Each structure stands twice: as structure tokens, then as C-alpha cells.
């Protein structure tokens, strides 16, 4: 068997737009996951029974079921409720909800690692609980868990490949199409592997750069 | 001294305060009146309830019975009363509790802007004034982690002062400090006392107590056991427990 990468090379415009699709899913999914993560922890901290229960239930359901099933569920369940979303939006929603559940767990750990003295100092100065969370606890908490959050977001980036199952436009779906047209399976998936590796490395680098800017104060 | 004990308006009043942590009785029928301008030193063995007592005053702990009135505001569970009290009472902690992600100046302006609704310019002007007063004005742009413990504690004092409180609570402000930094913080507190600040200080710094306290209050097992002017308290403690405590303190110093 001879290897022929020319068919893959010739498809570079399609691959490039696939990469764009993947990056769009990953970046939007991370943003949504981040919002869900912070809001979820804020709700848990408010210690109201029913909202806290709902957040905990959400986290447990997401963390104990496969992503593939989750994305199919959203894809096929929402239309039953009369909501029609295109595959890309559905994929972002699924990635955001899934990543958000993990983000809640991680960020909660960070919040718990912040000494109670910080909260007490804020309260003693007359700030309210919400302000204390937003202005005093949140940033040091995020700094403490930023490495774990980053790994989770790398995982989210790789999980975008599963979104091909609902025909969202991203790199893996492009690859599958090229494979179907050329029958060059090895060349296609070897190339995808390399491209995903590069995407991961770039994501890691970008996240590190963001972390460095956002948390640029010295620790003790 | 006479005058500050008798004359000033009642700033802090605790009447028959009972505090429980679950089944543990932490404050037992505590009565305490602090008048405006008075300086109280609170001491006693570990676990006697000193921190609990002062933390009740700004509602960091809730009480189960009795009442606390601070500057005319009766503390109950209404957020309004709690807000009013916290606006007028500053607190300094053993562990400084500066906000690590904010510069010294930002630490000092956060609450004045949020709670007192000062403009940034006004809050910064106030902050710089108090930072100068605790002799740390030239470090305003640094982060807490870049300062020594003594400097951090002085910033914490300035941060509390920026709210222009009517009274200050100190919970062992020098206990976490290296010995060579204790003096700079005590000097700052002595300065405050001289300027007439109403203060309750939990501390075992007996030199400080002798120098500035109007009254020394000795606690044991959740009760106020003895309450006296520093001279009497140190020279002629009335209770066996105070004597034992003083003996131990002096042995350590
Ligand atoms: N959150 C809490 N839950 C349960 N028990 C507590 C709590 N906080 C304090 N206590 C208990 O209440 C008692 C009084 O504690 P407190 O911290 O007021 O003592 P203290 O006089 O300040 O002691 P120290 O000199 O060690 O600071 C202690 O026996 C302590 O174990
Ligand atoms: Mg204490």
C-alpha cells in the first residue's frame, strides 16, 4: 500500500474551514461553560434549597452520562419542545452545558480553597454576600484552579469531534467527507490527528496567555 | 480617662448575650458597655470566647439571646441593622485578610465606593490620607503579597479606617507577626487611641494594655470574669483565674 497525501493536501481549503468550525465550537463552548460554571457556583453559594438542588442535579446528570447521548438528547429533544436550533448552535449548547457542569465542580473547589477570612473581611467592611463573591472571592478562586480549568477546556476542545454526530460543521466531519470521497482513511485520520494536536497546543498556549494576563498579581 | 469612662455616649452595648455553637455555650450572659472614645483590652485564655465576643458586635456571629446595640442600631436579623452597624464598626483580623488580587490602594477604596458610595476620586483621597497616617503611603500601588506582615497589618488598619468607622475591633492584630514587626502595628494602634478612636482590642500585649486601655476585661469559659482599670488588673488581679492567666503571660514575656 502506498501513501498518498496529495488528496488530503488538495482538500486544504475544506480542512481549514473545518478547523475554523472546530475553533468556533470550542471557543463558544468554553465561554458558555465558563458562564455556567460561575453562575452555578454563585447559586450554590447563595444556599437556597431548591436552586442549589437543581444545580447539583444538573452537575450529577451531566457528569454521569456520556456526552454523545447528551448531544443527541438535546438535538432530538428540543424540537419536541418546539425549539429548532441548527446543528452548530446545538453543538455549542451541548459543549457549554457539559463543560459547565465540570466547571462548576472545579470552580467550587477553588472557592472552597479561599480562606473564610476573605469573606469575613468583606462582610465586616459592609459588603453584601453577592459582592463578596464577585469582587473578593471569585478571582483568587479562579486563579487557584486555573490549571485544572484549562485541562478541562482542552478536553472540551477535543470533544468537539463528537459533534460530527449531529452533523455540526467542524474538522472531523470535514475529514469524514474527504475520506468518503477519496477512500484514503489513513492519510485523512493521520492528518486530522496532527491538526488536532496543533489545535490543542495552540489552545493551551492561548489559555495560558489569558491566565497570565487575568491573574497577574503576586501570591504570597 | 475618668471622663471617657463616664462622659461619652454609649457606643456598644451588650446585654445578657448568650451565644451557642451547637451544644457548646460560647458566651454566657455577657454584659458590656463601651462608651465613645473608650479603649478596651480584652484578654483571656485560648478558647475563652474573646473572638466570639467581638465578632458578635459586627454580626459575623449571630447570638441566641440577649441584645446588642451599636451606635443606636439594635442588631437583629434585619439586613438593614447589620448594614448600619458594619458601616460604623471597622475590624482588623489576626491574619490581615487583605484581598490578594487588589493593590493596597484598591483594597482601601473598594468598600468606601461600594458601601459609602464615594466617587473614586474621593475614595482615593481618603485612602491616601489613611495610608500616609499608617506610614505606608508610598506602597499604595503594591500588592499585599509584596509587603511584610507588619506592613500588611497596617494596610488592613488603614482599609478599615477608610470607612470612617466610629469604633474599631481588633482580634489579636499582632499575633501572626514576626516579633520585630509587632511594634510598628502597636504604634499605629496607640496613635489611633490617642486620636480618640473607640476600640476593643483582643490582645495579649500587656504593654499596650497598660499604655492605652481604659479598662481591661478578662474572660474565661465564655464569661467576663474581671473588669478593671489596667493598673488594678495588673497589680492586683481580683480573681484566681486572672492571676493564673497573668502569671502565664508574664512567664512567656
Ligand atoms: N464556628 C465555631 N463552631 C464551633 N465552635 C466554635 C466556633 N468558633 C469558636 N468555637 C468555640 O468557641 C470557643 C470560643 O472560641 P473563640 O475563638 O471565641 O476563643 P478565643 O478566646 O478567641 O480563643 P483564641 O485565643 O484561641 O483566639 C472555643 O472553645 C471554640 O472552640
Ligand atoms: Mg480568638
pLDDT digits (tens, 9 = 90+) for B105-148: 999 999 999 999 999 999 999 999 999 999 999 999 999 999 99
ipTM value: 0.94
Of B91, B98, B102, the CB nearest to A124: B91
Ligand 1 contact, B49 CB (< 6 A): yes
Confidence of residue A26 (pLDDT cuts 50, 70, 90): very high
List the single residue in A with minimal CA-CA distance to B100.
A219
The answer to whether A218 contacts B146, with C-beta atoms less than 8 Å apart, is yes
What is the signed CA dihedral for A82, A84, A89, A94, rounded to 10 degrees? 40
Task: Look at residue B1 and tell me whether its pLDDT is greater than 50.
Answer: no
CA B180/CA B246 separation, integer angstroms: 23
Minimal Cα–Cα distance from B37 to chain A, Å? 21
B110 touches A: beta carbon within 8 Å: yes
DSSP string, chain B: -HHHHHTSPEEEEEEEEEEEETTEEEEEEEEEEEETT-EEEEE-STTSSHHHHHHHHTTSS--SEEEEEETTEEPSS-HHHHHHHHHHEEEE-TT----TTS-HHHHHHHHHHHTS---HHHHHHHHHHHHHHTT-GGGTTS-GGGS-HHHHHHHHHHHHHTT--SEEEEESTTTTS-HHHHHHHHHHHHHHHHTT-EEEEE---HHHHHHH-SEEEEEETTEEEEEE-HHHHHHS--SHHHHHHHHHHHHH-
Task: Look at residue B4 and tell me whether its pLDDT is greater than 70.
Answer: no
Task: Look at residue A1 and tell me whether its pLDDT is greater than 70.
Answer: no
Inter-chain contacts counted by CB atoms under 8 A, chains A and B: 70
Best to test chain A binding among B99, B118, B151 (most A CBs inside 10 Å): B99
What residues of chain A lie within 8 A of the CB of B143, using their CB? 217-218
Task: Look at residue B2 and tell me whether its pLDDT is greater than 60.
Answer: no
**Average pLDDT over chain B, rounded to whole?**
94
Ligand 1 contact, B50 CB (< 6 A): yes
What residues of chain A lie within 8 A of the CB of B90, using their CB? 124-125
Confidence of residue B3 (pLDDT cuts 50, 70, 90): very low
Tell me the domain boundaries of chain A.
Answer: 6-215
User: pLDDT digit string (tens) for B24-81?
Assistant: 999 999 999 999 999 999 999 999 999 999 999 999 999 999 999 999 999 987 999 9
The answer to whether A118 contacts B143, with C-beta atoms less than 8 Å apart, is no
**pLDDT at residue B34, as a whole number:** 97
> Which of A38-42, A135-139, B3-7, B202-206 is the least confident region?
B3-7
- Interface of chain A against chain B, CB under 8 Å? 115, 117-118, 120-128, 131, 135-136, 139-140, 143, 215, 217-220
User: pLDDT digit string (tens) for A73-98?
Assistant: 999 988 898 888 899 999 999 999 99
Superfamily designation of domain A6-215: MetI-like (1.10.3720.10)
Task: Look at residue A3 and tell me whether its pLDDT is greater than 80.
Answer: yes
For the whole model, what pTM was predicted?
A: 0.93
Query: Left if phi > 0, otherwise alpha if psi is -120 to 50, otherwise beta: which for A168?
Result: beta
**pLDDT at residue B7, as a whole number:** 61
Residue nearest to atom 25 of ligand 1 (CA): B46
User: pLDDT digit string (tens) for B67-105?
Assistant: 999 999 999 879 999 999 999 999 999 999 999 999 999
For ligand 2, a single-atom ion, which residues have Cβ within 5 Å?
Answer: B 51
Amino acid at each position: 500500500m502506498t501513501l498518498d497525501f496529495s488528496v488530503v493536501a488538495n482538500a486544504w481549503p475544506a480542512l481549514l474551514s473545518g478547523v475554523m468550525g472546530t475553533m468556533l465550537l470550542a471557543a463558544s463552548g468554553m465561554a458558555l461553560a465558563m458562564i455556567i460554571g460561575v453562575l452555578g457556583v454563585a447559586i450554590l453559594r447563595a444556599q437556597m434549597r431548591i436552586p442549589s438542588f437543581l444545580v447539583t442535579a444538573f452537575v450529577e446528570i451531566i457528569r454521569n452520562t456520556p456526552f454523545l447521548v447528551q448531544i443527541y438528547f438535546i438535538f432530538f429533544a428540543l424540537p419536541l419542545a418546539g425549539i429548532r436550533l441548527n446543528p452548530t448552535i446545538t453543538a455549542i449548547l451541548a459543549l457549554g452545558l457539559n463543560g459547565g457542569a465540570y466547571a462548576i465542580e472545579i470552580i467550587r473547589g477553588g472557592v472552597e480553597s479561599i480562606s473564610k477570612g476573605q469573606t469575613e473581611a468583606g462582610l465586616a467592611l459592609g459588603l453584601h454576600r453577592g459582592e463578596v463573591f464577585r469582587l473578593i472571592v471569585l478571582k483568587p478562586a479562579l486563579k487557584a484552579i486555573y490549571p485544572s480549568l484549562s485541562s478541562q477546556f482542552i478536553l472540551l476542545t477535543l470533544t468537539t469531534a463528537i459533534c460530527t454526530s449531529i452533523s455540526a460543521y467542524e474538522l472531523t466531519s470535514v475529514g469524514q467527507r474527504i475520506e468518503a470521497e477519496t477512500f484514503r482513511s489513513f492519510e485523512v485520520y493521520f492528518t486530522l490527528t496532527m491538526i488536532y494536536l496543533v489545535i490543542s497546543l495552540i489552545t493551551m498556549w492561548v489559555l495560558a496567555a489569558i491566565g497570565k494576563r487575568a491573574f497577574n498579581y503576586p501570591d504570597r | 480617662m475618668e471622663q471617657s469612662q463616664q462622659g461619652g455616649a454609649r457606643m456598644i452595648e451588650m446585654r445578657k448575650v448568650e451565644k451557642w455553637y451547637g451544644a457548646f455555650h460560647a458566651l454566657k450572659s455577657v454584659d458590656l458597655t463601651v462608651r465613645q472614645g473608650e479603649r478596651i483590652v480584652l484578654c483571656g485564655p485560648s478558647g475563652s470566647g474573646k473572638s466570639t465576643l467581638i465578632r458578635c458586635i459586627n454580626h459575623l456571629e449571630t447570638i441566641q439571646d440577649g441584645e446588642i446595640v451599636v451606635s443606636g442600631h439594635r442588631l437583629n436579623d434585619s439586613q438593614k441593622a447589620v448594614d448600619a452597624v458594619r458601616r460604623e464598626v471597622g475590624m482588623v483580623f489576626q491574619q490581615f485578610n487583605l484581598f490578594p488580587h487588589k493593590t493596597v490602594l484598591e483594597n482601601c477604596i473598594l468598600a468606601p465606593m461600594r458601601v459609602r458610595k464615594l466617587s473614586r476620586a474621593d475614595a482615593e483621597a481618603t485612602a491616601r490620607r489613611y495610608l500616609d497616617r499608617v506610614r505606608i503611603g508610598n506602597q499604595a500601588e503594591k500588592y499585599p503579597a509584596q509587603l511584610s506582615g507588619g506592613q500588611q497589618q497596617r494596610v488592613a488598619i488603614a482599609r478599615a479606617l477608610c470607612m470612617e468607622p466610629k469604633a474599631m475591633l481588633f482580634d489579636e492584630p499582632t499575633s501572626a507577626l514576626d516579633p520585630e514587626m509587632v511594634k510598628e502595628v502597636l504604634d499605629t494602634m496607640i496613635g489611633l487611641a490617642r486620636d480618640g478612636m473607640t476600640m476593643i482590642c483582643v490582645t495579649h500585649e500587656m504593654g499596650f494594655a497598660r499604655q492605652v486601655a481604659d479598662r481591661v476585661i478578662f474572660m474565661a469559659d465564655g464569661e467576663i470574669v474581671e473588669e478593671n482599670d489596667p493598673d488594678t488588673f495588673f497589680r492586683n488581679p481580683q480573681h484566681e483565674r486572672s492571676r493564673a492567666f497573668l502569671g502565664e503571660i508574664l512567664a512567656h514575656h
